[in-house]
Structure 1
Amino acid sequence: MVIVTTIRREVLTLPTAELGPDNPLPPLRPLDEAHRMDDRDREDLPRDMARQIGYEPLRSLLPTRVRDGYDRDRAPRELDALVIENDRLRATVLPALGGRIASLVHKPTDRELLYRNPVLQPANFALNGAWFSGGIEWNIGATGHTTLSCAPLHAARVPAPDGGEMLRLWEWERLRDLPFQVDLWLPDGSDFLHVGVRIRNPHEKPAPTYWWSNTAVPEQRRVLAPASEAWHYGYERRLRRVPVPSYDGVDRTYPLNSPYAADYFYEIPDARRRWIAALDADGHGLVHTSTDALRGRKLFVWGTGSGGRRWQEWLTEPGTGSYCEIQAGLARTQLEHIRLDPESEVSWLEAYGPLDAEAEGEWPAVVDRAEARLETALPRADLDAAYTAWKPYADTEPGEILATGSGWGALEVLRTDWKLPGTPFDESTLGEAQAPWAALLRSGVLPEPRRVRPPGETLVAPHWRDMLETAPATPLTEYHLGVSQWHAGDRAQAVRSWERALELAPSLWPLLRCLAVADQEAGNHERAADRYTEAFADLCHERRDAGESWTAATAALGREAVEALLRVRRVADARAVWEMLHPATRERGRFLLLQAELLLAEGRRDDAWAVFADGFEVADLREGAESIGRLWARLTDEPLPTRYDFRMRPETP
């Protein structure tokens, strides 16, 4: 009996925390990014690596929004899934959550090849906030987890090169303004999931490009890659070359041998096949390989320290297993971005499947034996041939639409009339977020909203900024123009646009908040505190109800206002803002931490201590953040309790 590849819909039920609303305040501050290197290390880098590390690193999250509205209250919820399956493998894909492959099962052995997270718990690891662990994710845009981690992608059936079906995922990546696609298919009888990826630059100028495929695997593994050196990067922000497998007397290819969280970017010789594997003590596990365009390979470990262990628990359920990550990217390290020429594209083929090979033993012999087993299971020439066969199908128009992503790609295609075979961004996908911008495009006028509400997202690319500059200077247009000018680095002009809008704007708080951020960035913290106070009072006067958008705006602006006021020691004013927050907002972990800081500033040390004693969880605690530990150290000399220990680096003397 011949079993052909099938694609079907399925519902996956998991304990899930709701994502909640996005933060409605535009992210004007410089990017809070943990992955920056110390300048002292640059002179020792290979020339091409140093050049790519310095090539247009991301400096702003605009035009995206920060996703920080989630909590840690998990309940069983149904998630739409797409399952692609043949007689050997079954892959479960979550199109509404960045196209994440949540599970990859090898059917003959009934083995799950990935780390499959038993819960869906957002945490603050993506560039714009919400991210979750487990499975295989597609990271595009800039150094870090993609802004699409918890966002919907378009999905459809597409003919595969072998006559079967592929599952195509595609979207418009907004940080770099680039469309991309991910094609998944299972050749008949294959033990390997094939993944064709293409990123296109339709613009008339080059674009910085970034891609890392990130696979979570159980932590009790040995990770193999054809390298004798690696670039080590930790949260001390130092990038240095280390030997593989061991340095400082410890074999680091076993994830549980590293005390602190770290990246190991393997230096694979140019002529060597690109692959990485994670095998258990019995030699069973997952291997990832690709065509040569996907150059880099990486191991990420959490480390065995208390902070790394706490993060593992934070991202899943305690007692349900831990994980590490094996990754593959376009550059040697994740600190680099590559240049994608105008009106060009980059593409490659990846493959994921089971590998049985001896994991224990001396490094060169173990690696050679594993590569030989990989060559038997999936010859390098066959992978190259599969890539050649796939390329013509990358342009094939999708058939049945299985999921719908955002309307931002449709807006760009409407603006330019670009032809992007294989990845249609249909005008029917335009939604409420795109509506005012489509109106600006068609009429040259940005329409005023029909009801009072927080302003929508701002488009900041040069062509949209040009349209805003020539549109009638309404208060809303001036607000968006100021955000766009700020993103472009023209801060003085941005301030002028916001100040002009204040004269006629019916809603003052969005403009006052932008001006407060500008004051902070200029070092004028007293005036920033004044403007935050005025902005928050105006918002509280204007908000119409306790609905989601107003509550999110009040929480976001209130938090910034309290922090700004505490910075200039205006404690009574900070308390006044705190009391005007919604009661439910004040009970959130982020705000309980802020309450402890406020109490300490008021001299109420015992009450601040009581906040810690009663317990709280900061749902959106940032990767690498040390704010809880710093506040604890101001309260007491006692060791930081395990529940609050998220430190990802050694303590500095």
Structure 2
Amino acid sequence: MVIVTTIRHEVLTLPAAPLGPDNPLPALRPLDEVHRVEDRDRAGLPHDMARQIGYAPLHSLLPAPVRDGYGRTRRPRAIDALVLENDRLRATVLPGLGGRIASLVHLPTGRELLYRNPVLQPANFALNGAWFSGGVEWNIGATGHTTLSCAPVHAARVPAPDGSAMLRLWEWERLRDLPFQVDLWLPDGSDFLHVGVRVRNPHERPVPAYWWSNIAVPEERRVLAPAEAAWHFGYERRLRRVPVPAHDGADRTYPRDSPYAADYFYDVPDGRRRWIAALDETGHGLVQTSTDALRGRKLFVWGSGPGGRRWQDWLTEPGTGGYCEIQAGLARTQLEHVRLEAESEVSWLESYGPLDAPPPAGEWDAAVRRTEERLEAVLPRAAVDAAHAAWKPYADAEPEEILSAGSGWGALEVLRGGWKLPGTPFPESTLGAQQEPWRRLLRSGSLPEPERAGPPGPSLVAPHWRDLLETAPATPAAEYHLGVAQWHAGDRAQAVRSWERALELAPRHWPSLRCLAVADRESDHHERAADRYARAFDALCLERSGDGERETAAVAALGREAIEALLRAGRPADARMVWERVDPATRARGRFRLAEAELLLAEGRPERARAVFDEGFEVADLREGDERLGQVWRLAGGGDLPARYDFRMRAEPS
């Protein structure tokens, strides 16, 4: 048999905004997470759901960096891609951007099965910031879009069960300290892309696990799944069970028929086949199905309101068509985490492909039945189970050819733990400058001081690294990073003591002063926090040795935090002094224009604050669910919120 499945390199050229530098300040403050359930709703939830919602929710981004250095200016950019293709389907994967499937084309008809974003525009939707819309993304870690959304992953060619080649993607997920892999397999002649996923827990303790495969599709579809009810979650943070397809007077399986952004987690009965489809009025579209381990199915809609439409334009090019998301996950909702036992793994197989079914309009049960019958005809449930069984022996297959490199963090963890992870090598050759101090700590027991001036490097916070820091010589670097690890562990008093010792020892004071300022802020000591922020910013400006990217990013990040803290403490004159020391290019960014409007309001100049809005600005890193734009607008004079500033994802609170 001649196998025609191929894997090749390509370069895509897209209008893209550069990602810019990561924020060099450790993410010490709690997550500003919109996906939380109000306590009043928990009593009415099924017992297992309530337990998993309460199981190890993420409280910190550490050790992941915040990625907020991007803007809104797009220029043509070459983006490396890997293309997996047989005679029926072509999948385009972006290994430098989380391994996302950017495009899935059905070759006989020429149809794009996904929503393919014509631009690359980062926005503040990932847990740690930068994220972009479109395609199929792999979300591992905790509730929300993965911290790997805009990060490289490892990629390689590996043997497939049918003798062809698979494209393997793998990385080390740092929030939960877990390695994972995604194997993309296109059997010869198949209309379906098989995706084998494995998440491993090499530790001697259970860990919380989370996975949702997120599929963007054009929103002019009806979304079908085998359920008669769904768990509805909106940006009011209420979780409630609603009927499917219609509730509150509209059929919510048509994405444009919801006024505001919302999640619908379909309550698929036990024993039913796991699938979800998005079909146009003629019955054409995409279907995703899986083995039963991938339990959940979800529809996310932006809604028809002005805020939802503004977000759609914000994430792509106006006039290019909107999208919704259909998703599949390990739990019934994205608010839950599941327990992955010590030294165990979980795996499943997903299948993506075209579906030509009867038109989906009309009575729900009949439309679901017709769609499921068509799916069974073109891809029987038993065939998906058989493909999973065929794939599992190949999950350990070693790469035949490395196609792209991810980070060095997995290599560092393997070096420390001595783990054997067949199929997903993390060789020492991938260790880089960020990992080098930690490799030296591992080998010598001492954390070296930075050789160059500038912001400290990234901290590691897992218990094994904290133990090493506690026994290392008390150098300024060791005390600083130990404080970060203790803070992450919830031992805030010890963290403060470590930072105070670092402050006494270190030639550069601002990193520890900033950490102490955060500790004060979280303890509601706002005046002391403001003092320390002002001292930290002054020290950074005095110690700054140049205009390098990381130092500029540090000034921007610390300046922003200092202005907020000083305004909170009622000290607009001191906040103005910080503002004036930030370089003009940074002050021109939208986030600082918004801070300027808040500063002007604090100075009693609402007309000037209104003028900032009238002049126009864009907050490139506006957070999902952030309502500050509207709040500051009202304080600056009010009136109807201009469309350009309307990102509301819920009705106005009464």
Matched, 1:411 2:426: no
In structure 2, the residue matched to 1:399 is: 400
Amino acid at match of 2:73: D
Question: Where do residues 333-352 of structure 1 align in structure 2 (5 Å cutoff)?
Answer: 333-352=333-352
Alignment of 1:510-529 (within 5 A): 510-529=511-530
Partner SS for 1:297: strand
Describe the SS at the equivalent of 2:376.
helix
Residue 615 (str. 1) matches residue 605 (str. 2): no
Whether the aligned pair in 2 keeps the contact of 1:519 and 1:525 (CA below 8 Å) is yes
Distance 2:504 2:214 in 1: 49
Indicate conservation of the 8 Å contact 2:483/2:494, yes or no: yes
Q: 2:257 — aligned with what?
A: 257
Q: Using the alignment, how far apart are the partners of 1:273 and 1:313 within structure 2? A: 35
- The reply on whether 1:438 has 2:442 as its aligned counterpart is no
AA matched with 1:168: R
Aligned position for 2:133: 133
Give the match for residue 284 of structure 1.
284
Deviation string 1:36-91 (CA, Å, 9 cap, x unpaired) is: 01111111111100000000000000001100000000000000000000000000
Structure 2 residue aligned with 1:473: 474
Distance 1:491 1:600 in 2: 34
Are the counterparts in 1 of residues 42 and 50 from structure 2 also a CA contact under 8 Å? Answer: yes
Counterpart-to-counterpart distance in 1, 2:288 and 2:301: 17
User: In 2, distance between residues paired with 1:123 and 1:5?
Assistant: 35
What is the alpha-carbon distance in structure 1 between the residues aligned to residue 369 and residue 636 of structure 2? 55
Separation (CA, whole Å) in 2 of partners of 1:100 and 1:579: 41
Query: Are 2:365 and 1:364 equivalent residues in the alignment?
Result: yes
Match of 2:107 in 1: 107
| Partner of residue 209, structure 1 | 209
Which residue is 2:604 aligned to? 603
Query: Residue by residue, what CA displacement relative to the aligned partner does 1:95-132 show, whole Å, maximum 9, x if unpaired?
Result: 00000000000000100000000000000000000000
What does 1:628-639 align with in structure 2 at a 5 Å threshold?
628-639=629-640
The code of the aligned residue for 1:457 comes to: P
Shift, 1:562, TM fit = 0.5
Contact 1:3–1:87 (CA<8 Å) still a contact in 2? Answer: no
Q: Is the 8 A contact 2:83 2:90 kept in 1?
A: yes
1:13-412 correspondence to structure 2 within 5 Å: 13-357=13-357, 358-412=359-413
1:492 paired residue number: 493
Unaligned runs of 5+ in 1: none
2:510 aligns with 509
What is the alpha-carbon distance in structure 1 between the residues aligned to residue 249 and residue 321 of structure 2?
Answer: 27
Answer yes or no: is 1:572 the counterpart of 2:606: no
The one-letter amino acid of 2:486's match is Q
Q: CA deviation at 1:380?
A: 0.5
One-letter amino acid of the counterpart of residue 368, structure 2:
V
Cα distance in structure 2, aligned partners of 1:451 and 1:213 = 41
Partner deviation per Cα, 1:329-356 (whole Å, 9 max, x = no partner)? 0000000000000000000000000001
* Distance in 2 between residues matched to 1:51 and 1:604, nearest whole Å: 50
Partners of 2:258 and 2:248 in 1: CA distance: 11
The CA deviation at 1:249 is 2.1
How many residues were matched structurally? 653
| Structure 1 length-normalised TM | 0.99
Structure 2, unaligned stretches of length 5 or more? none
User: Which residue does the alignment assign to 1:562?
Assistant: 563
For residues 314 and 343 of structure 2, what CA distance do their matches in structure 1 show?
43
Contact 2:606 2:635 in 1 (8 A): no
**Bigger shift: 628-637 or 419-428?**
628-637
Distance 1:164 1:109 in 2: 24
Deviations 1:125-148 (A, max 9, x none): 000000000000000000000000
SS where residue 43 of structure 2 aligns?
helix
Q: What secondary structure, in the 3-state scheme, does the structure 2 residue paired with 1:498 have? A: helix
| CA distance in structure 2 between the partners assigned to 1:249 and 1:511 by the alignment | 55
Letter in 1 for 2:45: L
How far apart in 1 are the matches of 2:201 and 2:282?
Answer: 45
**1:361 offset after TM fit, Å?**
1.6
The separation in 2 between residues aligned to 1:626 and 1:546, in whole angstroms, is 33
After alignment, is 225-234 or 357-366 more displaced?
A: 357-366
Residue pairs, 1:2-21, within 5 angstroms: 4-21=4-21
Q: Distance in 2 between matches of 1:186 and 1:637?
A: 56
- 1:321 is displaced (CA, Å) by 0.7
Question: Is the 8 Å Cα contact of residues 192 and 352 (structure 1) preserved in structure 2?
Answer: yes
Q: Is the Cα contact below 8 Å between 2:606 and 2:637 reproduced in 1?
A: no
The equivalent residue for 1:584 is 585
Alpha-carbon separation, structure 1, partners of 2:297 and 2:352: 14
**What code does the residue aligned with 2:373 have?**
A
Q: Is the 8 A contact 1:474 1:501 kept in 2?
A: yes
- Aligned counterparts of 2:34 and 2:311: Cα–Cα separation in 1: 15
Please tell me whether the aligned partners of residues 3 and 163 of structure 2 are also in contact (alpha carbons under 8 angstroms). Answer: no
CA distance in 1 between counterparts of 2:2 and 2:651 reads 56
Deviation at 1:569, TM superposition (A): 1.2
Off by >3 Å, runs of 4+ in structure 1: none
Residue by residue over 1:173-226, the C-alpha shift from the partner in whole angstroms, topping out at 9 and shown as x without a partner, is: 000000000000101100000000000000000000000000000000000000
Q: Secondary structure at the match of 1:395?
A: coil
Alignment partners' CA distance in 2, 1:94 and 1:503: 46
Q: One-letter code of the match for 1:123? A: A
Q: Secondary structure at the match of 2:395?
A: helix
Which residue matches 2:458?
457
Task: For residue 495 of structure 1, give the secondary structure of its aligned residue in structure 2.
Answer: helix
The 3-state SS of whatever aligns with 2:536 is helix
User: How far 1:165 moved relative to its partner?
Assistant: 0.2
CA deviation profile, 1:554-590 (whole Å, cap 9, x unmatched) = 0000000000000111111000000000110000000
1:418-469 deviations in whole A, cap 9, x for unaligned?
0000000000000011000000000000011111110011100000000000
Q: Distance between the aligned counterparts of 1:96 and 1:556, measured in 2? A: 25
Task: State the one-letter code of the partner of 1:591.
Answer: F
Amino acid at match of 1:516: A
Q: Which moved further from structure 2: 361-370 or 293-302?
A: 361-370
- Residue 342 of structure 1 aligns to a residue whose secondary structure is coil
TM-score by length of 2: 0.99
Distance 2:536 2:361 in 1: 62
What SS does structure 1 have at the residue aligned with 2:387? helix
The 2-side partners of 1:24 and 1:230 are apart by 41
Could you say what secondary structure the match of 2:256 adopts?
helix
What percent identity do the matched residue pairs reach?
78
In structure 1, what residue type is equivalent to 2:127?
Answer: L
The one-character-per-residue Cα deviations of 1:515-538 (angstroms, maximum 9, x if unpaired) are: 000001111000000000100000
Give, in whole Å, the separation in 2 of the partners of 1:526 and 1:637. Answer: 30
Paired residues for 1:634-653 under 5 Å: 634-653=635-654
SS at match of 1:369: helix
Q: Which residue number corresponds to residue 627 of structure 1? A: 628
**Distance apart, 1:637 and its partner CA:** 2.9
For the Cα contact (< 8 Å) 1:300–1:326, is it kept in 2?
yes
- The Cα shift of 1:606 comes to 1.8
Deviations 1:372-417 (A, max 9, x none): 1000110110110000000000000011100000000000110111
Distance 1:135 1:209 in 2: 23
| Offset, 1:2 | 5.6
Deviation at 1:508, TM superposition (A): 0.2
One-letter amino acid of the structure 1 residue matched with residue 210 of structure 2: Y
Distance (Å, rounded) in 2 between the aligned partners of 1:155 and 1:401: 6
Asked whether the equivalents of residues 3 and 164 of structure 2 are also in contact (C-alpha less than 8 Å), the reply is no
Note the C-alpha offset of 1:3: 6.2
